[in-house]
Structure 1
Amino acid sequence: MTHAPNLSADRPDNAPDTTPETEPDRGSDRARPSRNQLFKTLWRWHFYAGLLVTPLLVLLAVTGAIYLFKPAYENWVYKDLRTVHATQHAKPVPLAKQVDAVRKAKPEATIQSVTPPSDREHSTMVTLAADGGGPWAPTVSVYVNPYDGKVLGSVDNAKTFMQNVRELHGNLLSGDVGDRLMELTASWAAILTFTGLYLWWRARPRRGRTGRRGLRRWHATIGAAVSVFLLLLIATGLPWTGIWGQQLQKVITATKQGTPSAEDYKVSSKVPTTADHLTSNPDTSVPWAAEKVQVPTSKASGGHEGHEGHAGHMGGQGGNGAAPGSLPIERAVAIAHHERVPGTFTVTLPQGPKGVYTISGKSEADPAQQRTLFVDQYSGKVLASYGWPQYGLLSKLVEEGIALHQGERFGWPNLLVALGTCLAVIGMAISGVVMWWRRRPTGKGLGAPRRAQDARVTRGVALIMLILGVAMPLAGISMLLILTLDWLVVRRIAPLRRFFG
């Protein structure tokens, strides 16, 4: 976002404006010239930060605003698949038979998980692994009427409207490269916000309701008002990014604020497997805080260890088919209820004869209700139970942040605040471009704020920016590149020096 304080004087709207767009109070600046130099330096960083990230920042805001309505939108679009109408005395058929119906309809697919209905009005969702379905959700969801066992239809999760919005928001539909660009945008948006707050505070616009002065006043005031919420959205979105998110996971692991160690469980994988590898579908995955939990292994009896070929199929004695001798999926669901896994939960089927039932209950409205269970597929023993009491402080903060980021933590008020922040960001970006267009010079320059002449102030601001860059690595790398390019190239070539200001 871009906050810009007011001009010292207005001009006719059709006249070019080559004077500074914003100034602090002049009386105090004459007595404190270094303060004025600091203002100019931060304004220059603010200008170029906006120039660098405005297009992608608008894309982030637009896609984020749309994705806030994912649950409501998909419940409406897929209403015929997700809801059922049953008589009062109708009884559901066994889950194993519902899964068998999916197997018959999709014999070539591998069943990944089952989400039982949370009430009598919803269908059962069976998730299938699907090759080539996209980097974030290569799965197909098949919906089954739990009262007659008939398949209602299916949805390719990689091709839904909201999945495309999610991928645009997260990686620009371009994998790791897009993820890094969006992380860079979010990091620079934080810098825009901090510098914008300083500019607003130093030159708070008190007058002007129309024309350029009115636009600047609106831009600065609204920008300052939503700054806290924008910083919150940025901070709660960064854990999903590649570099920053990975570094946060390392910090959580190093400080023991997240996943408990493997020694906490007597039965654990010989080759460590973490819960984030069980599925790539965000709707059926374990909570963020449980992604790095080590998945334990089932202990087969009666020589079942050698049946690797049964992984993911329906030939098991228990009806879910992970391996001969495994318990039926109804038993896994019963264990979930016995362990009081809240709300709608997903049962991920065992992957092979050593696999376990993974029961994941996610609650965006209240992360404290989240629960992840690993259940031995043969004995039904709960090998690990991981929930809010086991989350470290940092993991709890991240889970609360995710719920806030998605607009679900406090219901509609949360959603409306997040939506309002996204709309304000779009308005800030548009008004910033309009202000620049109106004051752009008639020559060939960009019209950037003039470079401060006090080298000490410039170095001090550069140091502050680099400290921010340490907290946000991609922003820090880009700052070093900008400073190096400015020092080695821009300042030494006169046309470039005039163009960039």
Structure 2
Amino acid sequence: MYKTLWRWHFYAGLLVTPLLVLLAVTGGIYLFKPAYENWVYKDLRTVHAPQGASAKPVPLAAQVDAVRKAKPEATVQSVTPPSDRTHSTMVTLAADGGGPWAPTVSVYVNPYDGKVLGSVDNARTFMQKVRDLHGKLLSGTVGDRLVELTASWAAILTCTGLYLWWRARPRRGRTGRRGLRRWHATVGAAVSVFLLLLIATGLPWTGLWGQQLQKVITATKQGAPSAEDYKVSSKIPATTADRLTSNPDTSVPWAAEKVQVPTSQTDGEHQGHEGHAGHMAGQGGNSVASGSLPIEQAVAVAHRERVPGTFTVTLPQGPKGVYTISGKSEADPAKQRTLFLDQYSGKVLASYGWPQYGLLSKLVEEGIALHQGERFGLPNLLVALGTCLAVIGMAVSGVVMWWRRRPTGKGLGAPRRAQDARVTRGVALIMLVLGVTMPLAGISMLAVLTLDWLVIRRIAPLRRFFG
């Protein structure tokens, strides 16, 4: 069993080490995104609060109008009011032709004089490139699948490594190959729990595994509330029904991405609902309709309803649209709260937060905060960073150990195959369970075993090379 799992560990490392190191490097960098961007964009995000009469902020509507004048061709998507007196207002513009989930453009406004401080194209920032590299290897769907495959095999690599450490537990040797092996095994065992946690909390973002998880959450009703829970409606004033414009929606917490949004309605119309994805894909106008409440009143409702943390106000889309207020705390997912306001009366049409989330959605939200090093502040960040550094160190030490023990002839120097059929069947059962749990890993296992059975074992030079 030891030699068989060592062989799987060896080939798992051979398969995923380069990409695993890349994920560790980019993940370690991305942990510092908030601090990095607060530093780089300090001149845009912070302002000097004046004293006296000039300390009164300019109305938010006027700030939004300043952005529209500066960028008349863009569609205003949402507004994030200042979190305190020293921060600027952020107005988010929809990406031009980039699709519903494309990175936006953030425009920053001085709330005290209404002047535009500057803008940031979020699709072109350094951290967005790091995120794209970490999540999709800058290769779209193919990159996403490779990342998921790497994460799945990294879990197998961790589990087999734990077994090898438990069986061998090297205690002797502090230098040379023995010392390196001892370091590799000990560090691997020490960070294994944290590494498995990072893998598990990262998988919900992947395409295949994440989609299946979302289906399970929906089927078991463990997600955010459904539209059926909010049978609400309101009326559009007849004098403004023909002069209304529309704006696209903005992002909401992961657990609420599939929830449908209640809409306002005209006299005689039936209650309707429209999902967030539908809102974001809509064609937006560039001004708020006459008859709609000013954004200041939507913000006042958010304060009255005690929406936690820094919240974003999304402008209504079309005559049936609503103000969407999404508040969250990066350090505590339990503080998430979303409100839908009638754009004419300001009535709270729907409100949901942490108590309405299902168990699986809560676990995913907590996992995301842990994965990004935010849940428990600096200790969380340091543990996540230490795990990334440990992965890099283990990858390097693994390559060095193989290089030192590699055979002098033509071969990889892989551990030999098991000769006991019972052991082979036992390991096959274990791999079957792992393959079902992580489908891409299972598919790759079948591909490797098929190649081994049909090609490698039947060609002597290949058989000698792969052991």
Could you say whether these structures have the same fold, taking a TM-score greater than 0.5 normalized by the shorter chain as the test? yes
Superposition deviation, residue 491 in structure 1 = 1.2
Superposition deviation, residue 290 in structure 1 = 1.1
User: Do 1:110 and 1:313's aligned partners in 2 also have CA atoms closer than 8 Å?
Assistant: no
Superposition deviation, residue 220 in structure 1 = 0.4
- Secondary structure, in 3 states, of the residue corresponding to 2:98? coil
Higher mean alpha-carbon deviation, 454-463 vs 318-327, is at 318-327
Superposition deviation, residue 145 in structure 1 = 0.2
Instruction: Give the whole-Å Cα distance in 2 for the aligned partners of 1:324 and 1:278.
Output: 7
User: Do 1:276 and 1:291's aligned partners in 2 also have CA atoms closer than 8 Å?
Assistant: no
- Secondary structure, in 3 states, of the residue corresponding to 1:450? coil
User: Do 1:183 and 1:238's aligned partners in 2 also have CA atoms closer than 8 Å?
Assistant: yes
1:381–1:102 distance in 2 versus 1, CA, 3 Å: same
TM-score, L = length of structure 2: 0.91
1:495–1:280 distance in 2 versus 1, CA, 3 Å: farther
Tell me if 1:493 matches 2:459. Answer: yes
Number of residues paired by the alignment? 463
Superposition deviation, residue 249 in structure 1 = 0.8
User: Do 2:244 and 2:288's aligned partners in 1 also have CA atoms closer than 8 Å?
Assistant: no
Higher mean alpha-carbon deviation, 105-114 vs 137-146, is at 137-146
Superposition deviation, residue 86 in structure 1 = 1.5
Higher mean alpha-carbon deviation, 456-465 vs 192-201, is at 456-465
1:277–1:344 distance in 2 versus 1, CA, 3 Å: farther
- Show the counterpart of 1:54: 17
Query: 1:432-456: CA deviations, max 9, x gaps?
Result: 0111111111122111111111122
Superposition deviation, residue 271 in structure 1 = 19
1:169–1:304 distance in 2 versus 1, CA, 3 Å: same
Instruction: Give the whole-Å Cα distance in 2 for the aligned partners of 1:369 and 1:484.
Output: 50
1:316–1:166 distance in 2 versus 1, CA, 3 Å: closer
Superposition deviation, residue 217 in structure 1 = 0.5
1:315–1:373 distance in 2 versus 1, CA, 3 Å: closer
Superposition deviation, residue 130 in structure 1 = 2.2
Higher mean alpha-carbon deviation, 335-344 vs 63-72, is at 335-344
Instruction: Give the whole-Å Cα distance in 2 for the aligned partners of 1:316 and 1:239.
Output: 26
Instruction: Give the whole-Å Cα distance in 2 for the aligned partners of 1:276 and 1:70.
Output: 44
1:431–1:309 distance in 2 versus 1, CA, 3 Å: closer
Instruction: Give the whole-Å Cα distance in 2 for the aligned partners of 1:72 and 1:476.
Output: 39
Higher mean alpha-carbon deviation, 428-437 vs 322-331, is at 322-331
Superposition deviation, residue 480 in structure 1 = 1.2
1:384–1:312 distance in 2 versus 1, CA, 3 Å: closer
Q: CA RMSD in A?
A: 5.1
Superposition deviation, residue 134 in structure 1 = 8.7
- Secondary structure, in 3 states, of the residue corresponding to 1:194? helix
- The aligned runs of 1:76-225 (5 Å cut-off) are 76-88=39-51, 90-131=55-96, 137-225=102-190
1:51–1:314 distance in 2 versus 1, CA, 3 Å: closer
Query: 1:315-372: CA deviations, max 9, x gaps?
Result: 9999983434211111111111111111111111112222211111121211111111
Superposition deviation, residue 280 in structure 1 = 18
1:275–1:340 distance in 2 versus 1, CA, 3 Å: farther
Superposition deviation, residue 429 in structure 1 = 0.5
Superposition deviation, residue 261 in structure 1 = 2.6
- Secondary structure, in 3 states, of the residue corresponding to 2:355? helix
Higher mean alpha-carbon deviation, 190-199 vs 392-401, is at 392-401
Superposition deviation, residue 160 in structure 1 = 0.3
- Secondary structure, in 3 states, of the residue corresponding to 2:278? coil
Higher mean alpha-carbon deviation, 129-138 vs 269-278, is at 269-278
User: Do 1:117 and 1:124's aligned partners in 2 also have CA atoms closer than 8 Å?
Assistant: yes
Query: 1:37-79: CA deviations, max 9, x gaps?
Result: x111111111110010001100110000000000000000000
Instruction: Give the whole-Å Cα distance in 1 for the aligned partners of 2:368 and 2:402.
Output: 35
Structure 1 gap ranges (5+): 1-37
Identity of aligned residues (%): 91
1:276–1:259 distance in 2 versus 1, CA, 3 Å: farther
Instruction: Give the whole-Å Cα distance in 2 for the aligned partners of 1:415 and 1:483.
Output: 39
- Secondary structure, in 3 states, of the residue corresponding to 1:360? strand
Instruction: Give the whole-Å Cα distance in 2 for the aligned partners of 1:455 and 1:278.
Output: 73
1:341–1:264 distance in 2 versus 1, CA, 3 Å: same
- Secondary structure, in 3 states, of the residue corresponding to 1:308? strand
- Secondary structure, in 3 states, of the residue corresponding to 2:326? strand
User: Do 1:138 and 1:281's aligned partners in 2 also have CA atoms closer than 8 Å?
Assistant: no
User: Do 1:318 and 1:324's aligned partners in 2 also have CA atoms closer than 8 Å?
Assistant: no
- Show the counterpart of 1:377: 343
User: Do 2:217 and 2:360's aligned partners in 1 also have CA atoms closer than 8 Å?
Assistant: yes
User: Do 2:247 and 2:317's aligned partners in 1 also have CA atoms closer than 8 Å?
Assistant: no
Query: 1:231-253: CA deviations, max 9, x gaps?
Result: 01011111111111111111111
Higher mean alpha-carbon deviation, 254-263 vs 179-188, is at 254-263
1:281–1:483 distance in 2 versus 1, CA, 3 Å: farther
TM-score, L = length of structure 1: 0.85
Superposition deviation, residue 412 in structure 1 = 0.4
1:239–1:113 distance in 2 versus 1, CA, 3 Å: same
Instruction: Give the whole-Å Cα distance in 2 for the aligned partners of 1:279 and 1:456.
Output: 70
- Secondary structure, in 3 states, of the residue corresponding to 1:312? helix
Superposition deviation, residue 267 in structure 1 = 3.7
1:269–1:316 distance in 2 versus 1, CA, 3 Å: same
Superposition deviation, residue 262 in structure 1 = 2.3
1:159–1:128 distance in 2 versus 1, CA, 3 Å: same
Query: 1:148-175: CA deviations, max 9, x gaps?
Result: 0000000000000000000101001111
User: Do 2:82 and 2:89's aligned partners in 1 also have CA atoms closer than 8 Å?
Assistant: yes
Structure 2 gap ranges (5+): none
Query: 1:283-309: CA deviations, max 9, x gaps?
Result: 962111111111111224699999999
User: Do 1:114 and 1:124's aligned partners in 2 also have CA atoms closer than 8 Å?
Assistant: yes
User: Do 2:2 and 2:164's aligned partners in 1 also have CA atoms closer than 8 Å?
Assistant: yes
1:161–1:176 distance in 2 versus 1, CA, 3 Å: same
Instruction: Give the whole-Å Cα distance in 1 for the aligned partners of 2:242 and 2:129.
Output: 21
User: Do 2:411 and 2:466's aligned partners in 1 also have CA atoms closer than 8 Å?
Assistant: yes
